[in-house]
Amino acid sequence: MVKVPTQTPVTSLFLLLLSLETSFVPSVTLNLSVVFFCMVYMSFYRKFRMMVWMLLLAILPAFANYWAVHLHGDVSQAFILGTRAFVTVCIGIVFISSISLKELLLYLSQKGLSRSWAYALLVVFNAFPLIQKEIKSLKEACLLRGQELHFWSPLIYSKVLMTVFRWRHLYLRALSAHGYDEHAQLKNSYRTFYIAKKTKLIYLLIFLILQTSLFL
């Protein structure tokens, strides 16, 4: 058995808590502190291009919320909702760019989540690029016949459904070939994920530091 350190679960929980807190606690200082954390997080992992996109994408909803409330004359509420929209986008971008869904689902299945659910979700998310490729091939084939398909075309959705039903049997065969049994009691695994105590302490410390912004 190989033990693999992971910070995906604790990062997911941390971002979820921040998302809930910034959604219900009306504090501009807290919102700006979390935005600063997101920027530091991106910089630490050298995701500078993603950080730039994060800030650019957050500006529009933040300005829209601020302007909509500011028109009614409530400036303080406008700042709160504007920064809340900004920090919500930042948390979402950090989650998308840093969380390994496969690692998270495997860790949760290790902790009690149904393996059937875990593998089903993995199959669904892994199938998205393949479905996009099938749709692209369908559009190219239709263009050769002089027909242009749009996203509202029923032919695209029927093609997706037919492809999914065809792949269903292939995935079931692949799982059976690898010895998968949803009713089997899995006691051992060749790879076990664990969260280091150092990682837990670091995230707990960061969370407590962010809470101090509520008193500023």
Structure confidence at residue 84 (pLDDT):
96
Higher-pLDDT residue of 99 and 137 is 99
- Among 2-11, 103-112, 120-129, 179-188, the minimum mean pLDDT is found in 179-188
Residue 194, strand partner residues: 5
Supply the pTM of this predicted model.
Answer: 0.77
Structure confidence at residue 96 (pLDDT):
92
Question: What pLDDT digit, counting tens, does each position of 5-46 carry?
Answer: 899 999 999 999 999 999 999 999 999 999 999 999 999 999
Please state the domain extents for the chain.
2-99+193-215, 114-185
Write the DSSP assignment of 175-193 as a string of letters. Answer: HHHTT--TTS-----SEEE
Tell me the pairing of strands 191-194 and 2-5: parallel
Higher-pLDDT residue of 52 and 72 is 52
Could you give phi then psi for residue 210, rounded to 5 degrees? Answer: -65, -30
Tell me what the pLDDT averaged over the chain comes to.
84
Long-range contacts of 178-181, Cβ-Cβ distance < 8 Å, separation of 24 or more: 180/119
